[in-house]
Amino acid sequence: MKTQNYPIFLFLILLLLSGGCSSNKSELFTRNNELVLNDSNYFETEGLNYFVFSNKYDAMFDDSKVSAVEIIQHGIRTATNGDVRLNPTPGQWDRMPKFIDRIVNKEKKSIDVKLEYPQYGFKYTLRGEARDGGFYLSITTDKALPDSLAGVAGLNIEFFPPLLFEHSYLMDGKPGFFPTSSADNMTVINGIVEPKPLCTGKELEIAPDAPLQHISIQNKIEGSELMLFDGRDKQQNGTFVVRTLLPANKTGKIAEWFIQLQLRKVGCALQIYATLRWDITPHRVRWL
């Protein structure tokens, strides 16, 4: 068989195998993320991985953006540095917490990480947990937030800008676009110039226009909200940051997000055919 006939030949085979697979594009994806905690102690499912301090902070260069809670989406590192930070858009020299311990619970499908800001006497536990078809990220503490960190400490996660340029977002249903250039109003927090948020609300949909990049983050704690920042307002290597301030005078669970990603459904032959790309090398098919 000639090489140029391979795509047609494979299409016919996949068409026969597709059976009842719907041609409706919206039905080729799912937001039900059935995560498992694997033997390497990170969360995974088809097309999605969560690392919960699989990589610790680098004492030489803490802002290396390959640590804390990380999201690998269809093979691409989409988000990183999910942790409590003291700035809306942390930079290279801003304070970071000290790692204490990491506890993996395979039965509960959870990972607890003990951390602290010793200079403020603030200890907390970051938990990543797989349930309800998604991923819960939460912060708990036995001692209330110190007064010096009220309005300062928050749960952050950072998204790499080039992956989101010119894609849309929805905050509580209100639309916006991720800009290619930063140009936001600034404010002063504790004597430090910081950007104002692009938007605030309870539920953020990132890139709903792009199924393979679509991420949903819901804030689950009453009285707090999500904020979206553009970190490039302060530094060239800044990121888009999702943040929730930690409340004062509270103990126990003080922050919690529920995260879901839109993923390809497994087993649909027509959808699989749509994801094939053909190499110029004869007799070879390359998967993306």
280 or 256: which leads in pLDDT: 256
Give Cβ neighbours of residue 12 (< 8 Å, ≥ 6 apart): none
CATH number for the segment(s) 34-266: 2.70.98
pLDDT of 151 strictly over 50? yes
pLDDT of 12 strictly over 90? no
pLDDT of 276 strictly over 90? no
What phi and psi, each to the nearest 5 degrees, are found at residue 107?
A: -65, -45
Region of 267 (left: φ > 0; alpha: ψ -120 to 50; beta: rest) is left
3-state secondary structure of 242: strand
Q: How many CB atoms lie within 10 A of CB 122?
A: 21
Q: How many CB atoms lie within 10 A of CB 67?
A: 21
**Average pLDDT, integer, range 48-63:** 84
Confidence tier at 269 by pLDDT (50, 70, 90): very low
Least confident of 51-55, 77-81, 146-150, 179-183: 179-183
Cα 103 from Cα 127, distance rounded (Å)? 9
**Average pLDDT, integer, range 262-280:** 53
CB 205 within 8 A of CB 216: yes
Long-range contacts of 176-179 (CB under 8 A, 24+ apart): 178/207, 178/240, 179/230
Cα 132 from Cα 117, distance rounded (Å)? 32
pLDDT of residue 285: 38
Check the CA dihedral 50-56-57-61 and report its sign: negative
Q: Where are the beta strands (DSSP E) in 121-271?
A: 122-131, 134-141, 154-159, 168-171, 174-177, 186-189, 192-195, 199-201, 203-206, 215-219, 226-230, 240-245, 252-261, 263-264
By DSSP bridging, strand 43-45 and strand 48-52 are antiparallel
Exposed (0-12), middle (13-18) or buried (19+): which is 74, by Cβ within 10 Å?
A: middle
Q: What is the pLDDT of residues 205-218, one digit of tens each?
A: 999 999 989 999 99
Cα 104 from Cα 178, distance rounded (Å)? 36
pLDDT of residue 188: 86
pLDDT of 24 strictly over 90? no
Domain ranges of the chain: 1-21+269-288, 34-266
pTM assigned to the model: 0.83
Q: What is the pLDDT of residues 104-146, one digit of tens each?
A: 999 999 999 999 999 999 999 999 999 999 999 999 999 999 9
Cα 36 from Cα 104, distance rounded (Å)? 12
CB 47 within 8 A of CB 40: no
Helix (H) or strand (E) run with residue 16 in it: helix 6-18
Residue the block writes with tokens 């953006």: 65
Confidence tier at 282 by pLDDT (50, 70, 90): very low
Give Cβ neighbours of residue 122 (< 8 Å, ≥ 6 apart): 116, 141, 143, 145, 146, 149, 153
Q: How many CB atoms lie within 10 A of CB 96?
A: 21
Q: How many CB atoms lie within 10 A of CB 252?
A: 8
**Average pLDDT, integer, range 41-48:** 95
Cα 149 from Cα 284, distance rounded (Å)? 57
Q: What is the pLDDT of residues 231-249, one digit of tens each?
A: 999 888 899 999 999 999 9
